[in-house]
Amino acid sequence: MIEKMEFGGTGHTSTRALFGAAAFWRVSQDEADRTMAVLEEYGVNHIDTAASYGDSELRLGPWLKHNRKRVFLATKTEKRGYREAKEELGRSLERLQVDSVDLWQMHILVDPRDWELAMSEDGALRAFVEARDEGLVRFLGVTGHGVTTPFMHLKSLERYPFDSVLLPYNYPMLLNAEYKSGFERLAAVCKERNIALQAIKTLAKGPKREGAKNDHATWYEPLAEAEDIEIAIHWALGNEQLFINTAGDIGLLPLILKAFSSFNSKIRDEDMEKFTRAKGMTTLFE
């Protein structure tokens, strides 16, 4: 079974494996239905999607129509204005075939100009707070990619008491001293305030190389062998604060979930350093 723990201060006990529904970006409904059966088999009870994830919300809708109460459901918007964000939430609810979501997140909120707009009087934050007050969402969060993400999340938490944050976490990223420092500061704040800390890109081997064969749906090159996936997942699970989003490829999902279910001990950083070198892993973000 996959370990569970409290998702921040939400009161929900989530599996530490969160289904990264970007994997449903461009799949058939049959493929999506079969994937949901795999998630049920492993007891995954937390789904993370976004309005910008292609067909993801549409593919989740038929399953959610009959199973809504079985999962903690999160979606995201990249809209920064009040009206645009509010309208997109309405579309997301319709596509997901639900009356409400548990977590609504400001997606990739890392650009300073975007941040100023989203947090302004007529920005997305106003729509977020209204949606929570109206019962359309229960909790609010922020997500981001890139080296500046921890610092922008800290800025967001100074502006508003968000319930969750999401950002990259893998060994090559932590070799960047600036990123590691920011991540550790953010993690400390999250622990102090009981804010859920979500990780992405845990299986990233590096950027896609021009001309290299890559049969996976991820926009980066992922670790794809069972043993490699297990090592990367088990290393990340050694950080006891983390929830980890599964990679955006349904073909890798069974191997990923198997790795989560077999976790029983931490992997040392020195062993992960050797593994990173042996696999030629590099950071996705400079």
Could you read off the pLDDT of 12-27 as tens digits, one per residue? Answer: 999 999 999 999 999 9
Residue 89 falls inside a structural domain: yes
3-state secondary structure 111-140: CHHHHHHHCCCCEHHHHHHHHHHCCCEEEE
CA angle, 193 then 4 then 107, to 5°: 55
Reported pTM: 0.96
Using DSSP, how many helices (H) and how many strands (E) does the chain show? Answer: 11, 12
d(CA 190, CA 44): 23
Among residues 184, 143, 169, 187, which one has the least CA distance to residue 284?
169
CATH code for the domain of 246: 3.20.20.100
Query: How many structural domains does the chain have?
Result: 1
Domain span holding position 109: 4-279
d(CA 238, CA 277): 20
pLDDT of residue 285: 86
Residue 15 falls inside a structural domain: yes
Residue 267 falls inside a structural domain: yes
At 17, which amino acid appears? A
Among residues 172, 103, 188, 99, which one has the least CA distance to residue 138?
103
Residue 285 falls inside a structural domain: no
Residue 286 falls inside a structural domain: no
Residue 284 falls inside a structural domain: no
Residue 138 falls inside a structural domain: yes
Strand, helix or coil for residue 78: coil
Residue 234 falls inside a structural domain: yes
Q: Which portions of the chain are predicted below pLDDT 70? A: 211-214
Could you read off the pLDDT of 173-228 as tens digits, one per residue? Answer: 999 999 999 999 999 999 999 999 999 999 999 998 776 666 788 988 999 999 99
